[in-house]
Homo-oligomer: A and B are copies of this chain.
């Protein structure tokens, strides 16, 4: 009960801070980001001391086998240029174009009656993420820049660090007229559970973490949730695929960063390539130590290849790679996000079959075709129902920075509001402002059959003129 009433106070304070901030010019939000960066620099020693405490506690967990080494590594804020790039990130976000106050539709409904659709923040965001403490600063920057209030919950492993980071953010905000409750952090799961019930105060939940985290949140709230469930990306080698492109793209999509959600998990082969392009691709993947989970046609070809080269000088390596890295696939391999140097391989008879396979097996994140055929390009990019449909390019390009958004909130596999990499634009919505300049104001009962008619004359405007 204590956490529930605490959560209520936090949520109400966030909503109030959001509402109060609507009359504060957006320049003030930029000022807040610069002040936050300076406060972080001032508190650097305190942050890093807290971070060392978190790391020490995590090391005990790792030694006891309760935490992975990679999670421990992600905790460390003092490593390399992590600190400096976190601070630079705040300034980068400050420098991005203002996503609010932009007019996307304007129309004169009648003489002196002007309608403007204007971008504005969504309201209060609840962001839940795991491990990496610098995400607190990233997300706070995005929230402030886009004019949203935010409540942030990091992983419990980084509680000490995020506590001090939050202090710096609040100190930065206090240098401006933006309420310091504009960005708040919470520490417990119980508070999250309570907040998920408060749809009168919280407008959007953004979970950044595992598939199970996202699903469990979606199941326990009526607040909209923006996030991505899985990254089951496919590379399809079409009948006319260029073999060199195929090799480069498959290897990059699989090996450039295997644990990323935009890494490829399944390779689909047009059956006509199975004994031509596929062996070349397979050799390149094996050379990169990628495990191949093959369906019978693709497996048979590799087996024949190994058998046929047993007398050549390289046969030893190929045989041992084949022995160690190649095996038959099962049905579940095609719906598994490997997130490692493993790829499932499927042979299909046609482009149409590949599109259908992707639509029923992928997570609608990003899928790519390798082809030289214009008709195949047109069919693939339209027929594949994913946030990203690519041609002769690696799935790894699906990323907010690479797309040119400066930074990203995450990648959405949802199908409303925002899809694919989500930049600042995904954190705004719009409102309609309608102004009458008529001498008697404007009323609806004067319009209709035999009365005034609506003009709907477009107005050219990028900003609201009042």
**Are A382 and B441 in touch, CB under 8 angstroms?**
no
Residues of B within 8 A of A248 (CB): 440-441, 443
Residues of B within 8 A of A431 (CB): 385-389, 419-420
Residues of B within 8 A of A442 (CB): 249, 392-394, 397
A113 to B18, CA, bound (A): 40
Contact with A122, one of B389, B398, B415 (Cβ below 8 angstroms) = B415
A385 to B215, CA, bound (A): 30
- A435-466 interface bits toward B, Cβ cutoff 8 Å, 1 = contact, 0 = none: 11110111111010000001010000000101
How many copies the complex holds: the figure is 2
**Are A434 and B388 in touch, CB under 8 angstroms?**
yes
**Are A242 and B441 in touch, CB under 8 angstroms?**
yes
**Are B245 and A440 in touch, CB under 8 angstroms?**
yes
Instruction: Tell whether A390 is near chain B: CB-to-CB under 8 Å.
Output: yes
Contact with A19, one of B356, B417, B435, B445 (Cβ below 8 angstroms) = B356
Contact with A444, one of B356, B389, B397, B421 (Cβ below 8 angstroms) = B397
Contact with A218, one of B222, B389, B430, B437 (Cβ below 8 angstroms) = B222
A385 to B122, CA, bound (A): 9
A396 to B244, CA, bound (A): 62
A23 to B355, CA, bound (A): 11
Instruction: Tell whether A404 is near chain B: CB-to-CB under 8 Å.
Output: yes
Residues of B within 8 A of A19 (CB): 355-356, 359, 383, 385
For the complex of A and B, the 9 pairs showing the least CB-CB separation, nearest first, are A252-B443, A245-B441, A218-B222, A396-B444, A404-B456, A392-B441, A417-B417, A392-B436, A391-B435
* A residues with CB within 8 A of B: 18-19, 22-23, 107, 109, 113, 115, 122-123, 203-204, 215, 218-219, 222, 224-226, 242, 244-245, 248-249, 251-253, 256, 355-356, 359, 370, 374, 377-379, 381-383, 385-394, 396-398, 401-404, 414-417, 419-421, 429-438, 440-445, 447, 454, 456, 464, 466
